[in-house]
Structure 1
Amino acid sequence: MSGYDLVLRSRRAVLPDGERPASVCVRDGRIVELAGYDEVPGTDLGELALLPGLVDTHVHVNEPGRTEWEGFASATRAALAGGVTTIVDMPLNSVPPTVTVPALHRKREAADGRCHVDVGFWGGAVPEHLVELPALHAAGVFGFKAFLVDSGVPEFPPLDPAGLHRALAAVDALFLVHAEDPDRIGTAPASARYADFLTSRPPDAERRAVEVVLDAARRTGRRVHVLHLSAADALPAIAAARRDGVPVTVETCPHYLTLDAAEIPDGATEFKCCPPIRDAANRAALWAALADGLVDCVVSDHSPCPPALKRRDSGDFGAAWGGIASVQLGLPAVWTQARRRGHGLGDLVRWMSRRPAEIAGLPDKGGIRIGADADLVAFDPEAEFTVEPARLLHRHPVTPYAGRRLTGVVRGTWLRGEPVGPADPPRGRLLVRGGGRPGAAAVVGEERA
């Protein structure tokens, strides 16, 4: 094998310059050569596509403190099964939330030795801890998440527009914002009708909050990232800001690209999330924005909870927890719809691997290129399967995708050149911004994004 630790040969390798036959050569956990398909002997994947491992920068692991909701072992096992080799954990709904350096240490202690994929951490920006942001950034978080509306948990309160401006001014970092305007959101009614819940969170609530985020970025010059965009109404403001040079990036999620509000049955609270799933015309506008680059990436917003909190027994959308657990299903869910719309595997890699890695500042992830970590996925883009909740590996098998026919199956995964599967011992590493050892601020460099 010419001194390589691993060579993977595929007739459909998705490389930065396109999809083509290639041999990917690995030494010491990194890609060191990209050769022709017939040039180097190795493991032959044939017509299976070879993708870079997906990078999911929006995962709520919830440990410590709410480990009964999820946990590092279960969340990362599910991620691995879904072709995701790197996640970045959100600062809530763990207790304590990741809003101080000691809380970050507790989170890392909870994750250490339990992760099946590589894991980084976002910090949180909340009103009483804005003074902590520079130290937390120096300790290696990849940036900061803030809410402009009630987060759903009392220990992570929202910022008002002035507070968001103060947060951005406090540290030169990437800020991720849950953008919904609390003044435009009504109290979700006690109702089993999805339409009643949807009415309580109108598109205008997102549009107005996105405008607040863009204004703060204009005034401070800081990078901002709009989380889980569901409302296409906000796209014109984002496009205008981009033309003006405002440093803004945008994500959406598989459920906004694949599901339709008109098809959600009464009482089916597994579909509840905030912001909500909207109609088919809105979905089409999100696909168009994704295709032209106005929306940068697709990440899961994996947000599980114990089944009782979903209130499936009563079907009450007003009382149910808002969150969708999909870290294992994001790849086939998006691919199923993308291929119907004429998109290729290169688009999928851009949306779900390269751009999330670039936005978060993960220079060793997100692509099959020389020098990158050899995080690789053998993917069968033609195989179909029916989603069976009992086969999902996150802690509670609740999903709006139950019974759906999806296309695309992960056939094998390598983490830094080592074959890994959900049943194997955890081999994931904890990541810090800029590289270095967790907790060692002295070796954390500047952001590379």
Structure 2
Amino acid sequence: MPTADLVLVSRRVVTPDGERPAAVVVVGERIVDLVEPAAAPDAATVTDVGDLAVLPGLVDAHVHVNEPGRTHWEGYATATRAAAAAGITTLVDMPLNSIPPTTTVAAFETKRAAADGKLHVDVGLWGGVVPGSEAHLADLYAAGVLGVKAFTCDSGVDEYGCYAPEGLADLAARTAAVDATLLVHAEDPAVIDAATAAVAASGADPRAYATWLDGRPPAAEERAIAAVLDAARATGARVHALHLSAAGGVPLIAAARAAGTAVTVETCPHYLTLAAEDVPDGATAHKCAPPIRDAANREALWAGLAAGTIDAIVSDHSPAPPDLKHLDTGDFVAAWGGIASLQLGPSLVWTEARRRGHDLSDLVTWMAAGPARVAGLRRKGRLTAGADADLVVFDPDATWTVDAAALHHRHAITPYDGWSLTGRAVTTYLRGRVVDPLGIPTGRLRLRGDL
């Protein structure tokens, strides 16, 4: 009788110790061992993928699913199909832009009900905190969210208010008291307001990308990140800087970490693959907040990844319908600020990373192990005994062209339409079973007590 349910064999298995030939042995939903291929036990299913790579299921810890309330922007069914197609086996949903936002236990339960029966991959939930909701924070964390998110600037939606950067210490003390990670969208509103006023006074063309970029200068991020770090130092809170765009934040975070501050930071594929000088006027699919900056800034972010200062690469998938992106007018000022790239992130990052001399172990560090660690997902993001059997058969040499209309996202909007990319997921396993993005959903909500 077979002693395992699945054995997946490859000459290129990416483990925490590096890439090597191995057989991944799965019993039930867990990895039980990694052995030399010749030592693989009998199994109900044995699959040898040859020179294709086997990676742990990737983790995207920053996704705006928007359900319930704005499911016409995105939703659990479409978002998790896109994730599965990309080799992402776990995503973590942000507390906005759903209605209600996930800032109370009642809203959390509404979110859970909305996800029921729709998940093609496993999903965790970030909670949120806005002015007036602080009293709910401890109960919300106890209910199972993985951490809580706050803004230091306008979130873009009326139901999700923000905190002044200089007032973060009280909020950080509250999260420290329950041992929750405080995630912060860090931009300083005073800097933004001054820059935006100057741009408006200049009469700048709203179709020009520079008009949007000049209104969100790097100083807005740098000042707000400094305030987040000050709050963490003063309270002992664990903090996470979201979607780092301005590379000037990297040395601030490196210095704080060296001094003992519990801080992590993420960046996104669009900041690593796009550059402000290449964004055409009117191409509002490129608008996001913080904005895409210049090529020199992009290279400095890659240096931050190589140095280990930046912990994770996540999509910040924030889609919207075509009318909200103002694709017809190309108005960068009026357009919704969010980029849709959930299904494309791994290939985008691998295309650029390989060109810079990085290997698949780096990809796994940035897009599996790193996001899993930030979110506290102990059984995700690594190929080790005891981990969930989330596996991706990945062809690192496959070349393909992005067709926005063929993506699983709800709306066929992406700045990457027509791009030629390298590397693609061939087969995705969720807890030991092959995922069909168009098949029966088999994903689960993963709450903090079940990680």
Q: Secondary structure at the match of 1:127?
A: coil
Looking at structure 2, the residues matched to 350 and 58 of structure 1 have their Cα atoms a distance apart, in angstroms, of 16
1:68 to 63, 72, 78: 72
1:153 maps to amino acid: V
- 2:55 corresponds to 1:55: no
Structure 1 residues 5-42: Cα deviation after superposition (integer angstroms, max 9, x where no partner): 10100110001111011000100110011111232262
Looking at structure 2, the residues matched to 377 and 81 of structure 1 have their Cα atoms a distance apart, in angstroms, of 10
Aligned to 2:393: 378
Looking at structure 2, the residues matched to 394 and 165 of structure 1 have their Cα atoms a distance apart, in angstroms, of 38
Alignment of 1:45-444 (within 5 A): 45-161=49-165, 163-171=167-175, 172-185=179-192, 186-187=195-196, 191-435=206-450
Q: Secondary structure at the match of 1:80?
A: helix
Taking structure 1 as the reference length, the TM-score comes to 0.96
8 Å CA contact retained: 2:165, 2:188: no
8 Å CA contact retained: 1:148, 1:179: yes
Aligned to 1:26: 26
Looking at structure 1, the residues matched to 443 and 253 of structure 2 have their Cα atoms a distance apart, in angstroms, of 36
Q: Secondary structure at the match of 2:213?
A: helix
Aligned to 2:5: 5
Looking at structure 1, the residues matched to 39 and 322 of structure 2 have their Cα atoms a distance apart, in angstroms, of 52
Q: Secondary structure at the match of 2:12?
A: strand
Q: Secondary structure at the match of 2:23?
A: strand
Aligned to 1:36: 36
Q: Secondary structure at the match of 1:204?
A: helix
8 Å CA contact retained: 1:297, 1:356: yes
Q: Secondary structure at the match of 2:157?
A: coil
How far off its partner does 1:161 sit? 3.1
Q: Secondary structure at the match of 2:124?
A: strand
8 Å CA contact retained: 2:119, 2:444: yes
Q: Secondary structure at the match of 2:14?
A: strand
1:51 maps to amino acid: L
1:31 maps to amino acid: I
How far off its partner does 1:164 sit? 2.3
Query: More displaced, 61-70 or 236-245?
Result: 236-245
2:3 maps to amino acid: G
Looking at structure 1, the residues matched to 136 and 170 of structure 2 have their Cα atoms a distance apart, in angstroms, of 12
Looking at structure 2, the residues matched to 23 and 371 of structure 1 have their Cα atoms a distance apart, in angstroms, of 15
Looking at structure 2, the residues matched to 18 and 4 of structure 1 have their Cα atoms a distance apart, in angstroms, of 24
8 Å CA contact retained: 2:81, 2:120: yes
2:21 maps to amino acid: P
Looking at structure 2, the residues matched to 321 and 259 of structure 1 have their Cα atoms a distance apart, in angstroms, of 18
Give 5+ residue unaligned stretches, structure 1: 437-449
- Name segments (4+ residues, structure 1) moved above 4 Å: none
1:119 maps to amino acid: V
> Percent same amino acid among aligned pairs?
62
8 Å CA contact retained: 2:273, 2:352: yes
How far off its partner does 1:322 sit? 0.2
2:302 maps to amino acid: W
2:146 maps to amino acid: F
Looking at structure 2, the residues matched to 272 and 113 of structure 1 have their Cα atoms a distance apart, in angstroms, of 33
Looking at structure 2, the residues matched to 315 and 157 of structure 1 have their Cα atoms a distance apart, in angstroms, of 27
How far off its partner does 1:105 sit? 0.1
Aligned to 1:441: none
Pair 249,399 (structure 1): closer, same or farther in 2 beyond 3 Å: same
Aligned to 2:17: 17
How far off its partner does 1:245 sit? 0.5
How far off its partner does 1:132 sit? 0.6
Pairwise CA RMSD of aligned residues?
1.1
8 Å CA contact retained: 1:361, 1:434: no
Structure 1 residues 397-432: Cα deviation after superposition (integer angstroms, max 9, x where no partner): 100001111001111010000111211110000111
Structure 1 residues 170-224: Cα deviation after superposition (integer angstroms, max 9, x where no partner): 2321011000000111337561100111011000110000000000000110100
Looking at structure 1, the residues matched to 94 and 86 of structure 2 have their Cα atoms a distance apart, in angstroms, of 19
Looking at structure 2, the residues matched to 117 and 371 of structure 1 have their Cα atoms a distance apart, in angstroms, of 19
Q: Secondary structure at the match of 1:302?
A: coil
1:128 maps to amino acid: G
Looking at structure 2, the residues matched to 145 and 47 of structure 1 have their Cα atoms a distance apart, in angstroms, of 41
Structure 1 residues 330-360: Cα deviation after superposition (integer angstroms, max 9, x where no partner): 0000000000000000000000000111111
Q: Secondary structure at the match of 2:434?
A: strand
1:26 maps to amino acid: V
8 Å CA contact retained: 2:165, 2:224: no
1:88 maps to amino acid: V
Looking at structure 2, the residues matched to 2 and 8 of structure 1 have their Cα atoms a distance apart, in angstroms, of 14
Looking at structure 2, the residues matched to 263 and 382 of structure 1 have their Cα atoms a distance apart, in angstroms, of 26
Give 5+ residue unaligned stretches, structure 2: none
Looking at structure 2, the residues matched to 391 and 108 of structure 1 have their Cα atoms a distance apart, in angstroms, of 29
2:313 maps to amino acid: V
Structure 1 residues 140-161: Cα deviation after superposition (integer angstroms, max 9, x where no partner): 1000000000000000000113
Q: Secondary structure at the match of 1:319?
A: coil
Looking at structure 2, the residues matched to 252 and 277 of structure 1 have their Cα atoms a distance apart, in angstroms, of 11
Aligned length: 436
Aligned to 1:440: none
